[in-house]
Structure 1
Amino acid sequence: MKKESKRKIASVMAMAVLMASLAGCSRSGTGESNGDSAAKDGDYVIGLDCPMTGVNASFGEQLSYGAQMAVDEINGAGGINGKTLALSVQDDKSDPKEAATIATKFVADDSIVASIGYYNSSCGLSALPIINEGKLVTIVTGSSPDISEQTQKYGFRTEPSDMQQAVYAADWMVQDGRKKVAILYESTDYGMGQEEIITDILEESGAEIVCSEAYILGETKDFTNILTKVKNSGADSIFLAGTYTEGALIVKQRQSLGMDIPCYSSSSMFEVAFLEAAGEAAEGVKVQGVLVPDDPSETIQKFQSSYKEKFGDDKVAGTFSGHGYATVKMVAEAIENVGTDPDKMSEYIESTTFDAIYGTVSFNETHDLIFDSLKRLVVEDGKFVVVE
């Protein structure tokens, strides 16, 4: 089956789930909360959908920790116009069906003034039609290009899109003289989207895709056969389109097979957990990211210090910690200036330039991120080092 057909079938299945979820979905107007206990503790409640369990739980942890830091800071400074803020954290388990159910719950709960999160692109895609129908301002972090078609009036995106990241990665590979590229991608909206885009960009630049292999997120553990195909293809580089869990397995097994082929990836590998899981096999891997833990700037180091103090010395604030923190701040600023009317909140967010923890942020006509602070990083001595 062709990849394009797989994506079409996946889209049809997702839409079936969405239509079922949308039935009876609307803002109740009762003022009663259907959220968890956290929702009862604040005058304003932000719903946070993220994977708190499963293979992407570390990203959910980052989002929730960053968001909670922002909530605590805002409340510590007197709240929003004298009212407190709280989170209603829901675990979507990286499952689009769960995300659709959670989005429906958020829309029906009048205490929730906005929602954030949706780490997985597939989860964001399943939720956005629901939140737009329900007029709930939502800021997602998924990177699939398809999200641009679903944001509409009430949805926004703070993670650089696959297109932005792929262009950035492809330019780097071309500058490094890569001519024969192997692409290994997870069979999700995120992975398939990146594979399509990076293929188009590299081929337009004159490079050849000599091998393109999919794997199953959370299930594929042995990459020997896939890496053997890469080795036999004559590839001079590998692009990894997936999350760090499988990425760590791939680079370790690449090393075990004696393959000295450079690896590139997007922000999904830019995680301390990737370094810990991959060990010395991560050396030389090239990635890109937004919030660099070792950034010497006073703002980032203060953020890192507060993060460790609150959540433990073993915790490191990563890109998605920054997203959780920044999106809460954006929502709070909108409420402070225009109140909780969703139309006014949407108009405020789309017309405002925000000073986020990782740089200046604004949104274009499709509510995609306008942001030019992606950084190139390479793993050296077990750390991510910025490439100037």
Structure 2
Amino acid sequence: MRKRTAGILAAAAAIALCAGASWAQETIKIGNIVATAGVLKSAAEPTVVAVDIAVDEINAAGGINGKPIELIRYDTGSDPKQAAVAARTLAQDDKVLAIVGPFSSGEASVALNDAERLKVLMMPTSSSAPGLTDGKRYGWRLSEDEFKQFGRLLAAMKKAGIKMDTAEIVYISEEVVSNAAGTKLYPALLEQAGIKHGDPIPVQYKSFDLSAQVAKILQSNPDIVAVAALPGSASKLIAELDRQDYQGRVIGSQIFSDPNVVELFGPAGDGTLMMAGFWKGRTPESQAFNEKFVELANERGIPKAGAHHSDAQAYDTVYLIKQLMEAAGTTGDPDKLQEEREALADGMKGIRFSGILADDICFDGNDAELAGYVIEIKDGEWTKFDEAPADKCD
């Protein structure tokens, strides 16, 4: 589904009239691939709010190079094939200068190929599967990969003296990142840390009864259960683990690290450890974004207890593109479309960026180097257990 954001168009028209120029030639077109339906809805839909906040702030401050952003959206409905259609539609029909999104690694794995072929900058908002941007010129990510973040979690647990000699792994078979984490990343990192584990246990996204899988887990009674799943599926597993009186820790990487899990998991979630790429208390600006995001999301009927790191990444991605366009002198002139697209891709090489995620962010290859925050649900609260600084860029 294609949609222009009405409030942004109104701002665009107003600024264009003040400039005494044609509205259609006086905007900066940016595409936004989103997922507000399907399996990704609960995790992906809030990024729409984060992008809207960034665009509204930029337009209120005068836009980019004196021109307002015209945001053009395409909704994939969580279908990777539609992400490819979105990339082609936004690049060829709408002639956007750059694309924010898509959301997931599954969507990005196909859409990035179209962005490369069509030579338009694409920055996914949440995809964290390792290697997605390798060898790309037009595909970049303001996110940290699952392999590194899960390794940081295990290191923090070891430092804290948490018992983790044995583990079991559970993953969602149909979801790209969950599957990759559960079958490849988690086993490799657990083995590297000297933690014994059984064969990864697959669970289908739509599974309601997880009693058999949990009974299998309890046969070995592991110290930790490593879960690779979105929040809804993770909550079902945690509830069943609690029902069957599991006494160990549940851990996970970035996949289910949404502040909403505090309420979703309930008392059974206490002690759960996970990784996040955003901490709301890092700076006053980070805190202000979190508060604005929660207020607007709830106004739109999207219940949020706090911003997920994917929301913060989406917000900062818009500002990063703004920085790129200002440095490149982007005009939005249709006759210079490919020239200006090329300049944006070139501008990503060696760029440094500061935002609500971190200060002075650099890129190793095409992926940002970000800090990792170890989050613990403690006494029903989203708390910071530990943190790891961002790696240095080569």
TM range (shorter): 0.7 to 0.9
1:136 counterpart = 2:120: yes
1:112 lines up with 2:110 in the alignment? no
For residues 57 and 35 of structure 1, the distance between their equivalents in structure 2, rounded to whole angstroms, comes to 17
Identify which of 288, 292, 307 aligns with 1:306.
292
Contact 1:181/1:238 (<8 A) preserved: yes
Contact 2:259 2:307 in 1 (8 A): no
Partner of 1:256: 243
For residues 312 and 202 of structure 1, what CA distance do their matches in structure 2 show?
A: 38
- Contact 1:63/1:320 (8 A) holds in 2: yes
Distance 2:73 2:260 in 1: 22
Aligned to 2:381: 383
RMSD over aligned Cα atoms: 2.1
Counting only pairs closer than 5 Å after superposition, residues 177-188 of structure 1 correspond to structure 2 as 177-187=163-173, 188=175
**TM-score with structure 1 setting the length:** 0.85
SS at 1:87's partner residue? strand
Decide whether the 8 Å contact of 1:46 with 1:88 is kept in 2: yes
Contact 1:136 1:342 in 2 (8 A): yes
Moved more, 304-313 or 152-161: 304-313
Say if 2:300 is the partner of 1:333.
Answer: no
User: 1:284 deviation in Å?
Assistant: 0.6
Are the aligned partners of 2:167 and 2:196 in contact in 1 as well (CA < 8 Å)?
Answer: yes
AA matched with 1:90: Y
Amino acid at match of 2:105: S
CA contact (8 A) 2:273 2:375 kept: yes
Residue 201 of structure 1 corresponds to 189
Secondary structure of 2:198 counterpart: strand
Secondary structure, counterpart of 1:104 in structure 2: helix
1:53 aligned to 2:25? no
Q: Contact conserved, 1:292 with 1:318, CA < 8 A, in 2? A: no
Q: Counterparts of 1:70 and 1:123 in 2: how far apart (Å)?
A: 23
Give the 5 Å matches for 1:322-361. Answer: 322-340=312-330, 341-360=340-359, 361=361
Compute the displacement of 1:106 (Å): 1.6
Matches within 5 A, 1:1-388: 35-38=2-5, 41=9, 42=12, 43-140=27-124, 141-149=126-134, 152-175=136-159, 176-187=162-173, 188-195=175-182, 196-217=184-205, 219-293=206-280, 295=281, 297-312=283-298, 315=304, 316-340=306-330, 341-360=340-359, 361-365=361-365, 367-371=366-370, 373-388=371-386
Give the CA deviation at 1:248: 0.8
Q: TM-score, normalised by structure 2?
A: 0.83
- The alignment partner of 1:252 has SS state of helix
Instruction: Give the letter for the 1:47 counterpart.
Output: G
Shift, 1:173, TM fit? 4.5
Q: Distance in 2 between matches of 1:191 and 1:170?
A: 18
**Structure 1: how far apart are the matches of 2:241 and 2:257?**
19
State the aligned residue count.
Answer: 350
Do the aligned partners of 1:182 and 1:230 also contact (CA within 8 Å) in 2? Answer: yes
Deviation, structure 1 residue 309: 4.4
Could you say if the C-alpha distance between residues 37 and 204 of structure 1 is closer, same or farther in structure 2, counting changes exceeding 3 Å? closer
* Contact kept in structure 1, 2:119 and 2:341, CA below 8 Å: yes
> Which consecutive unaligned segments of at least 5 residues does structure 1 have?
1-33
Q: State how far apart, in whole Å, the 2-side matches of 1:343 and 1:351 are.
A: 15
Q: Give the distance between the partners of 1:202 and 1:308, measured in 2 at CA.
A: 35
Q: Structure 2: 5+ residue runs without aligned partners?
A: 13-26, 331-339, 387-394
